[in-house]
Structure 1
Amino acid sequence: MNELKLLREWDADAPPLTDTVRARARFRLYQAMRAPAAPTTVRRRPLLRIAVAAVAAAAVTATVVVAENTGTSPRTQTVSTATVLRGAAAEERRLEKPIAPRDDQFIYTKEITKETPVGGGRSKTYVDESWSSVDGSKKSYVSELGHTQWVPPDQPGQSSWPPRRWSQLKQLPTEPGKLPIALRDIGRTPDYDRPMKADEWPMVQLFLSGLLRTPVLPKGLRPAAFEALATVPGVKVLPGRTDADGRAGIGIQYVGKPGTPWAEGGPVLVFDAKTYQYLGMRDQRNAGAETYEQWSYVAADAVVDRVMQRP
């Protein structure tokens, strides 16, 4: 049965499903298909984004104008997705700070989202603050586009992607070559000797992009995810992109095969044109008959001791 039809009929009195909630539902269906004898129950969390930036990388190149700090006109050079994503990984390794949150603590995030109607109109900016339980044993408080919700503690047998529990994130390999295979074989012992098949990459791409959307990760995991994306087929480089402040950037966008969720192009990750530091994401959101252009980024993140505590 068509999964989108199921999603349209699911909880009809709830607000319209966003693309990110649909992605979460696809993950649930994927779990059920992978383990029919022991299906994994995943609690519906309609306001919590889990896989927003659906990107991947292949050896695709594009001519990108990079402004060098030389006092002369910018030089045109060819930049590949691998160059951008490996540069982003190097920048993350330079900037990341190791943390070791306790199970009784919370991950605090502050996300800024600016929306503008495609047909013209006034822009609106949302400031979403969320507190997520480190081990899932306590209620979390999440916000998306100004809508807030208390999320109950995890129940036995429940799981989500990306993993909410820090202990589960710590189990993921930080070797870029092993991470995609571990995600492909999620729920069982990874077979690192078996090559990836073509039809396995789209789901791996979804899992990797979900990890990158997670504001706080164990040391080395985010750089590994960037480098792992450099091995995934199906993206293009978009020159001349900017962030909300007008900084010059390079976009990376996943384009799926016809009939897939991203056949017409997915969200765009924007990286600094000189340093390759990740700046944020450009996307579109449909709400009824209206379509909005979005720009979003994480402005702050920290580990705190209780809900509503700010760093």
Structure 2
Amino acid sequence: MNELKLLREWDEDAPPLADSARARARFRLYQAMQAPAASPAVSRRPLLRIAVAAVAAAAVTTGVVVAENSGTSPRTRTVSATTVLRGAAAEERRLEKSIAPRDDQFIYTKEIIKESPVGGGRSKTYVDESWNSVDGSKRSYVSELEHTQWVPPYQPGQGNWPPRRWSQLKQLPTDPDKLPIALRDGRGKPDYGRPTKADEWPIVQFLLSGLLRDPVLPKGLRPAAFEALATVPGVKVLPGQTDAGGRAGIGIQYVGPPNTPWADGERVLVFDAKTYQYLGTRDQRKVGAVTYEQWSYTAAHGVVDRVKQRP
């Protein structure tokens, strides 16, 4: 697909792009701009969640040996990415609650981010609280590494990924086999009979993993995203991981093709090693010559009636 050709053929009188189509176009433009040079490091937290945070995970045939304590003698088991992600989906289905916010309400999230310079140095912990308009018609108040700002209401044709509008999230299929294809094909009727091509998987991962950055989703959508990610090629399992709270876990790391933001596999999803409950994310952020290791997790979330209100 020629991204620049798509832009030349764009008609200002045509209906605006869907959020997933917009995200795919941005991704392909990024690829076009980066080739053939090596991809630069991408910050974990692009400006105020306007760009898609590309968390990633997928299935591999190999696994890692995880130690388990059983009485006084440890035993081991081999764990694959598929096992972890399907286990995370099952745990999410067990714990998730149905939610149906009104269009005039706000989605509240509280995220904890711990950051330490690679190679040693002083650590810092950030607490980010954000209030996003459910239907995009009101101003949202968002925080990134404790830098806050008001985000104006959506304008015609404007959007982001994942969609902030609850109505758009509700349209996404909760069938893990259909979800990646629906995201792949974007606007129009998904072609569920067509196999996904090798060069399409990074985009599928890009969109699927973006959903996992949203702590409040319609019931069934997050488990479907976990299971769908288990079908994406390109990950490995990392034992001995910890989350922002110091809890021990197992990691899932996506390593993308060259000249993509995921070629270095900097982002790792961390899951509980026993229950596979999703614990948070380990990532890196670069500021000049300094690289920071980051651990983050969602501490609270809910639906409220106004900005600055908490559940």
Q: TM-score range by the shorter chain?
A: 0.7 to 0.9
Match of 1:210 in 2: 210
Q: Quote the residue 2:138 is aligned against.
A: 138
Structure 1 residue 48: Cα displacement: 1.9
Q: Indicate the residue corresponding to 2:241 in structure 1.
A: 241
- Residue 64 of structure 2 corresponds to 63
Residue 301 (structure 2) aligns with: 301
Instruction: Tell me what 1:259 maps to.
Output: 259
* Cα displacement (A) at 1:30: 4.5
1:51 maps to what in 2? Answer: 52
Structure 1: 5+ residue stretches without partners: 4-24, 34-44
**Contact conserved, 1:179 with 1:225, CA < 8 A, in 2?**
yes
1:115/1:237 CA distance change after superposition, 3 Å: same
**Equivalent residue runs for 1:74-223 within 5 Å:** 74-223=74-223
2-structure distance, mates of 1:181, 1:215: 22
TM-score, scaled relative to structure 2: 0.84
SS in 2 for 1:173: coil
CA distance in structure 1 between the partners assigned to 2:154 and 2:121 by the alignment = 41
Identity of aligned residues (%): 76
Q: CA deviation at 1:210?
A: 0.2
Give ranges in structure 2 of 5+ residues lacking alignment: 4-21, 31-45
Q: Give per-residue Cα distances to partners, 1:134-188, cap 9 Å, x unaligned.
A: 0000000000001001000001111211011000000000000000000001122
Distance 1:220 1:204, change over 3 A: same
- Give, in angstroms, the shift of residue 32 of structure 1: 8.0
TM normalised by structure 1 equals 0.84
Change (3 A) 1:302 1:241: same
What number of residue pairs does the alignment pair up?
277
Could you tell me which residue of structure 2 aligns to residue 36 of structure 1? none
Structure 2 equivalent of residue 228 of structure 1: 228
Amino acid at match of 2:290: E
Change (3 A) 1:31 1:138: farther
Tell me the C-alpha RMSD between the 2 structures.
2.1
Deviation string, structure 1 residues 181-233 (Cα, Å, up to 9, x no partner)? 00001122211111111111000001001001111000000000000001000
State the shift of 1:244 in Å: 2.9
CA–CA distance in structure 1, aligned partners of residues 118 and 150 of structure 2: 32
SS in 1 for 2:48: coil
Query: SS where residue 49 of structure 2 aligns?
Result: coil
Q: Report the CA distance between 1:31 and its aligned residue.
A: 7.9
1:121 Cα deviation after fit: 1.1
Q: Which amino acid aligns with 1:101?
A: P
